[in-house]
C-alpha cells in the first residue's frame, strides 16, 4: 500500500479543524487530536489518524453521541465511576484519568472506571498522563469481543489492553499491550497481503488453529465463531490461560467495576457501551519518590546492558521504542497510508475542510 508522509504539526492543525467541524469544542478537538497523534508518534499507526474514520462512522451509526454529558455516578476520595452516556472515548478517558491523578495527589491512590463510552485510542496515552505528574499510571479498556477463551470457539473478550507507566530516566517505563497474542490490526495486515497467518495467532469458527486471515476477520465481524487467541496461544502448553487471565483483569477493571457492558455485549448494532479503567498511584506513599525513580532507572539500565542473545544487538526496555519513534517521526514525518488519506478526504468533503491547505496537494 502506498504511504504519504505529513509533518506532525500540519496533521495536528488539520485534525483540530476536522474535529471542530464535526461539532467538538476547541479544547475537545485538541484532546482527541493529541490522543490520536501520540499514537502515530509512537509508531502505532493502527490507533492514530487511521481511526478518524471510525469515530466519524460511530457518530453516523449512533454509537457515539456528540453532545453526551458525562455523569459521575459514584465517588469516594480514592475512586469514581463515570457514566459516559455514549460520549467520546478520548474525552472520557482524559477526564477520568485526570480525576484519578487528582485523587492520587490527595490520597495516594485514585481509581476511576467508565461505562458507556467508545473506543478511546491507545491505553498507554492515559497511563503516561500520570508520569507527567510524577505518578504511576494504569489504564485499560474492554472492546468488541475478539479473544476466544482457552478451549472455546467464540470470541467473548476484547483485545483488552493493559497499560502501565512509571517515571524513570532517561525515559519513563511504559508498557502497553493487548492481552491477545496480537491485535486485530496485525491480522488485517496479513489479510491485505493475502498471506497465511502464523500459527498460534487465531482459531477458526470451530476453535481449531486458523491461518486464513480473511475468513477469521469475516467470522469475528459476523459473530460466527473464531477469533484471536490470548497471549500464550491456543492451548495451555504455552500459557494461553494466562493471557485469558490478563484479559479478565482488564475486563474487571473496566466493565465489572463500572457495572457496564462486558466485551461480549458491546458494539453490537447501535449499542456501543465500551468501558475503561484508570488508576494513578503516587510513589511518594512508599518513600522518597526520587529514590524510587532512580532505583527503577538503575534496573532498566541493567536490563538494557545485560548480555544479548546470539545475533541480537539490543535489549529494549518498555517505552524505549516509543521514544525513538517520536524522534524519527517528528524528523521524517508521520506515515499515513493511502486508504486513510482517502477516508480523510471523504470526511473533509462532508464537513467542508480544505485538506490541501494543511497537507498540500495529495494525488490518490
CB of 198 to a copy of itself, least distance (A): 6
Would you count residue 318 as binding a copy of itself (CB under 8 A)?
yes
* Interface characters, 106-125, with a copy of itself (x: CB under 8 A): -xxx-x-x------------
Q: CB–CB of 39/119 below 8 Å?
A: no
Q: How many CB atoms lie within 10 A of CB 348?
A: 20
Would you count residue 222 as binding a copy of itself (CB under 8 A)?
no
The number of residues that bind a copy of itself (CB under 8 A) is: 82
Q: Characterize the bridge pairing of strands 79-83 and 274-281.
A: unpaired
CB of 357 to a copy of itself, least distance (A): 40
Q: Which stretch binds a copy of itself (CB under 8 A): 2-10, 214-222, 279-287, 335-343?
A: 279-287
* Interface characters, 129-168, with a copy of itself (x: CB under 8 A): -------x-----------xxxxxxx-x-------x-x--
CB of 56 to a copy of itself, least distance (A): 31
Which residue of 257, 280, 329, 348 would you call a contact of a copy of itself, by CB under 8 A? 257
Would you count residue 252 as binding a copy of itself (CB under 8 A)?
yes
Length of the chain: 364
Between 27 and 290, whose beta carbon lies closer to a copy of itself?
290
Distance CA 146, CA 182 (A): 11
Q: CB–CB of 89/111 below 8 Å?
A: no
| DSSP 8-state symbol, 255 | I
Would you count residue 273 as binding a copy of itself (CB under 8 A)?
no
Between 203 and 344, whose beta carbon lies closer to a copy of itself?
203
Question: Which of positions 168-197 make contact with a copy of itself (CB under 8 A)?
Answer: 173, 175, 177, 181-182
Name the strand (E) or helix (H) holding 23. none
Signed CA dihedral, 118, 253, 38, 177: sign only: negative
* Interface characters, 2-41, with a copy of itself (x: CB under 8 A): ----------------------------------------
Residue 121: C-alpha distances to residues 54, 88, 93 (Å): 11, 10, 9
Q: How many CB atoms lie within 10 A of CB 351?
A: 15
Distance CA 203, CA 259 (A): 30
Question: Which of positions 51-90 make contact with a copy of itself (CB under 8 A)?
Answer: 73-74, 76-79, 81
268-305 in b/e form (b: 16+ CB < 10 A) is eeeebbbbbbbbbbbbeeeeebeebbeebbeebeeeee
Would you count residue 264 as binding a copy of itself (CB under 8 A)?
yes
Amino acid at each position: 500500500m502506498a504511504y504519504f508522509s505529513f509533518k506532525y504539526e500540519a496533521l495536528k492543525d488539520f485534525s483540530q479543524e476536522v474535529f471542530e467541524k464535526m461539532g467538538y469544542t476547541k479544547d475537545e478537538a485538541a484532546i482527541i487530536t493529541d490522543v490520536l497523534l501520540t499514537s502515530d508518534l509512537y509508531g502505532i499507526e493502527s490507533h492514530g489518524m487511521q481511526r478518524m474514520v471510525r469515530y466519524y462512522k460511530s457518530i453516523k451509526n449512533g454509537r457515539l453521541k456528540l453532545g453526551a454529558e458525562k455523569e459521575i455516578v459514584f465517588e469516594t476520595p480514592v475512586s469514581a465511576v463515570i457514566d459516559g452516556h455514549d460520549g467520546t472515548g478520548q474525552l472520557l478517558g482524559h477526564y477520568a484519568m485526570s480525576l484519578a491523578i487528582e485523587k492520587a495527589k490527595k490520597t495516594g491512590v485514585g481509581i476511576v472506571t467508565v461505562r458507556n463510552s467508545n473506543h478511546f485510542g491507545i491505553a498507554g496515552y492515559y497511563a503516561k498522563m500520570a508520569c507527567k505528574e510524577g505518578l504511576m499510571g494504569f489504564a485499560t479498556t474492554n472492546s468488541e469481543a475478539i479473544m476466544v477463551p482457552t478451549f472455546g470457539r467464540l470470541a467473548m473478550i476484547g483485545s483488552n489492553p493493559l497499560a502501565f507507566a512509571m517515571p524513570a530516566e532517561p525515559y519513563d517505563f511504559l508498557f502497553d499491550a493487548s492481552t491477545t497474542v496480537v491485535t486485530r490490526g496485525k491480522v488485517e495486515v496479513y489479510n491485505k497481503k493475502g498471506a497465511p497467518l502464523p500459527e498460534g495467532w487465531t482459531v477458526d469458527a470451530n476453535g481449531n488453529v486458523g491461518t486464513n486471515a480473511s475468513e477469521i476477520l469475516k467470522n469475528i465481524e459476523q459473530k460466527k465463531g473464531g477469533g484471536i487467541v490470548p497471549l500464550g496461544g491456543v492451548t495451555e502448553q504455552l500459557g494461553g490461560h494466562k493471557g485469558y487471565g490478563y484479559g479478565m483483569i482488564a475486563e474487571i477493571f473496566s466493565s465489572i467495576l463500572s457495572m457496564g457492558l462486558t466485551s461480549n455485549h458491546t458494539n453490537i448494532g447501535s449499542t456501543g457501551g465500551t468501558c475503561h479503567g484508570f488508576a494513578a498511584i503516587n510513589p511518594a506513599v512508599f518513600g522518597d519518590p526520587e529514590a524510587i525513580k532512580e532505583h527503577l532507572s538503575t534496573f532498566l539500565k541493567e536490563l538494557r546492558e545485560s548480555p544479548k542473545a546470539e545475533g541480537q544487538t539490543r535489549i529494549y526496555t518498555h517505552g524505549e521504542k516509543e521514544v525513538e519513534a517520536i524522534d524519527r517521526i517528528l524528523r521524517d514525518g508521520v506515515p499515513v497510508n493511502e486508504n486513510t488519506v482517502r477516508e480523510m478526504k471523504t470526511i473533509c468533503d462532508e464537513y467542508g475542510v480544505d485538506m490541501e491547505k494543511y497537507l498540500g496537494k495529495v494525488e490518490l
